[in-house]
Chain A
Amino acid sequence: MSDAIDTSGAAADGFEPRITAFVCNWCTYTGADLAGTSRLHMASNVRIIRLPCTGRIDPLFIIKAFERGADGVIVSGCHPADCHYTSGNYHARRRFAVFHDIMEFIGVDPRRMTFSWVSASEGSKWRDVVNEAVTNVRALGPFEAYRALAPKDVGVAAPAGPGAVAAPASAGIKAEAS
């Protein structure tokens, strides 16, 4: 189905969402590799951060991604019972559930946070998860609400800490966002 999706063009108003994905090494990362080996084309808006296990994923990662301007996040790992480390994903599932529910309570649209189980053999599911997340977030528009929290004076400076980053490659995207 995804090939039908317009993976190249921006939406009418030119907004292209930026999505950060936190995925486990053994299932989803490998599933995304498989999507690659199978040449399954998909939207190019997602940037993957590889973790050993969903068990390693902390809500702070997601908050930080929003703080740094992500319009949406994807969190994905091994299906229940398939965790490389047996139970990391079960623990993660509880933390994610609580995080998901409280963010919704605080007023974050849950469609900005995609949680999924994608196994190493589900390259096409990964493509669908990516495309669907992009479509959803594109429809929601930029996450201005979160960005608006940034301190006005330092709004655009890199946060303290080593390795301040140069301008992003996706320069075209930047313009519409601000």
Chain B
Amino acid sequence: MSRIGVFVCHCGENIARTVDCEAVAEALREHPGVAVAEDYKYMCSDPGQALVKKAIEDNNLTGVVIAACSPHMHEKTFRRACDQAGLNQFMCEMANVREHCSWIHDDRGQATDKAIDITRTIVEKVKHNRPLESIHIPVTKRALVIGGGIAGIQAALDIADGGHEVVLIEKEASIGGHMSQLSETFPTLDCSQCILTPRMVEAYQHPNIKLHTWSEVEKVDGYIGNFEVTIRKKARSVNEDLCNGCGDCQAACPAKRIPSEFEAGLGKRTAIYVPFPQAVPNIPVLDRVNCTLFKGRRKGLAKDVCGKCKEACLKAAIDFDTEDTFVTEAVGAIVVATGFKLYDIGRDQPEGLKGYGEYGYGEVPDVIDGLQFERLASASGPTEGAILRPSDGKEPKTVVFVHCVGSRDPEKGISYCSKICCMYNAKHAMLYKHKVHDGRAIAFYMDIRAGGKGYDEFSRRAIEEDGAEYVRGRVSRIFRDGDVVKVWGYDTLSGEQVVIDADMVVLATAMRPQDGIRELAQKLSVSTDEHGFINEAHPKLRPVETNTAGVFVAGACQAPRDIPEAVAMASATGAKVLGLFSADELEREPAVAVVDENTCIGCMRCELVCPYGAIEQREICTVDGHVCGHVAYVNPGVCQGCGTCQAVCLSKSVELQTFTDEQIFSEINALCYWE
């Protein structure tokens, strides 16, 4: 038999002004199953809580109802008090007679009646509460970081410095990401490589970091604290343990005219290559698509037609017959840092995007994108830092920079602002003017968005000190006209048509999520927004968590980000992961669903609707061990307690522990107006 204590709070005058608290206590005292009912001025005060505790002890209460404010306000307070008095905290509930009653009504009679109803409902609920224990989940204190750009490197370093092992995987041959391609970085114009390279090396040499380059995530099983990740190590054809990075193979390779990805197509590389001199690790990969030997094999030639690299390698590190291998890593947390790619406006467009054929990108050689400009401006780039245009290698005297190409253009498929382009355009105009003193840098912009420490000053400097000419308006067409690149634009401030004979045009194309992000997101059971950026758990309060517990997000894979932001996010994920690793077990509220194996028929409707993928099929066996069927199983480490499974289960064979059918049924019944 239930022995429930009801404690009605006056909340000073806040409740008592409209609700007759004594009458509520009085009415509840008569209610079946209620052992004590008292009212008090401030239940949440120390004496108030003491009163509750004493009543629990004196009356051996089996449940407690606090008729006071919203559970969002003080549920924790009172549950703790009950716990201290030896009553399981989940046997305590709050009846909201303040926000939902005294504050919104003024007729004392009605408000009192309603308060009595509300309290009775909760009493009826509590009769069916069950003592619950927190769930403890063991935590594997190792982390996986996906993506070795600046965000991934930073996250890996922070976690590794915190004393835990990190597995860092990068799909390219080297870590570094886009930052390694940049020349100098806003807002300070310091050399990108110079600040990045030490970090790359540190990550590589860190005793706690295990690096897999040329690798991708194949499969993710498990849940927070207990993930099992299968990593595909793509066939590299070079033995990482033997290779000493001498580069003899590259020198020997006859396939020398392959456009270099690192140089954004402005430079060439060999088929066996290290993407750039500072690459980490400094171990080549063999690009089988472009390799002469593999081309021959694909044609079905009986004998290998090349093999020069293998001959040149004194360490015998090259093996043409390696295959993709798989390694499995057990980790407790995952950080996604797969970064971005630039909107490739010229070529085939994915669904929904319309491209910018009118800008001549991909057709007119002197129309380039921002990353290509970075390579031109980089001291280690194809022109060794001289600004020379791709078509004829001449120094361009007029350069047009176009902002917002692809961004903020919902008509063409992308509504968001890429955020970094205003800044890197200003940077490009400056870098250009620093190198070509007599040149003109003209920028077409929609608005200048330079929010950030020192950012507005930086973009002003481009105009005021370096003389970049900013035209507010959009460009309608770009085409080749003999030796010049014609730019047709519109100056919205003067209302005039503008035509510029440029020598080179730099397009600030939109930042988009990496290819394959949706597939990766699916493997991780995290969601992406309509553009493919990873969704954070809450846009304000949980910006680096995802809706899958234990999976975090950093850098430009979540939204367009610049370096300081990417690094800040990375360190934030580091803090989250270290927080998670600070205890041997994860403690979670028992607000989870549980399947009744006696009645579940394994139809898996529940699995279809669970937002967290918490439900899986499990075989059940007879006593002698024969598999005799299957049922659903809810993983308590993953379930977040929404109860959607329960509502779709036809036979009600899965039950959310904190909102059971019996509790709700009793609440509805308590609202019975019949007797």
Interfacial residues, chain A to chain B (CB-CB below 8 A):
7-8, 18, 20, 29-30, 32-37, 39-42, 44, 47-53, 55-58, 61, 64-65, 68-70, 83-88, 91-92, 95, 127, 155-159, 161-174, 177
Contact = CB atoms under 8 A, between A and B. Distances in A.
Contacts of B117: 47, 168-170
B45 interface: no
Given A33-B72, A33-B99, A68 B104 contact: no
A164 B113 contact: no
Given A47-B118, A53-B642, A86-B527, A158 B672 contact: yes
A57 B664 CA distance: 10
B648 interface: yes
Interface stretch (B30-38, B292-300, B383-391): B30-38
A100 to B, nearest CB: 15
Contacts of B30: 166
B609 interface: yes
Contacts of B72: 29-30, 33
Q: Secondary structure of the A side of the interface?
A: loop
Contacts of B659: 51-52, 56
B553 interface: no
A161 B648 CA distance: 24
Nearest to B94: A50
Interface of B: 2, 27, 30-33, 70-73, 96, 98-101, 103-107, 109-118, 120-121, 124, 127-128, 527, 547, 591, 609, 611-612, 640-644, 646-648, 656, 658-659, 664-675
A33 B276 CA distance: 59
B656 A55 contact: no
B666 A163 contact: yes
A176 to B, nearest CB: 11
Given A163-B32, A170-B673, A55 B642 contact: yes
Contact of A167 (B71, B73, B640, B675): B675
B674 A68 contact: yes
Given A68-B672, A166-B675, A58 B104 contact: no
B101 to A, nearest CB: 8
Given A51-B659, A61-B668, A91-B644, A42 B104 contact: yes
Q: Which 8 pairs of residues, A with B, have the shortest CB-CB distance? A: A36-B99, A55-B644, A56-B643, A169-B116, A85-B642, A169-B113, A36-B103, A53-B642
Contacts of B644: 53, 55-56, 85, 87-88, 91-92
A49 B667 contact: yes
A33 B669 contact: no
Contacts of B127: 162-163
A30 B612 CA distance: 23
Nearest to A65: B668
A11 to B, nearest CB: 14
Contacts of A65: 668, 671
Contact of A85 (B99, B640, B648): B640
11 contacts: A8-B110, A29-B72, A44-B101, A49-B664, A61-B664, A70-B671, A95-B648, A157-B675, A165-B32, A169-B27, A170-B117
Contacts of B647: 55-58, 91-92, 95
A52 B104 contact: no
Contacts of B100: 32-33, 36, 48
Contact of B673 (A39, A53, A64, A177): A177
Given A30-B72, A58-B647, A44 B642 contact: no
Contacts of B669: 64, 68, 158-159, 161, 163, 165
Contacts of A61: 664, 668
Given A68-B669, A85-B612, A88-B609, 15 more contacts: A7-B106, A7-B107, A32-B100, A33-B70, A33-B72, A33-B73, A36-B103, A44-B113, A85-B642, A88-B644, A156-B674, A158-B669, A163-B666, A165-B32, A168-B672
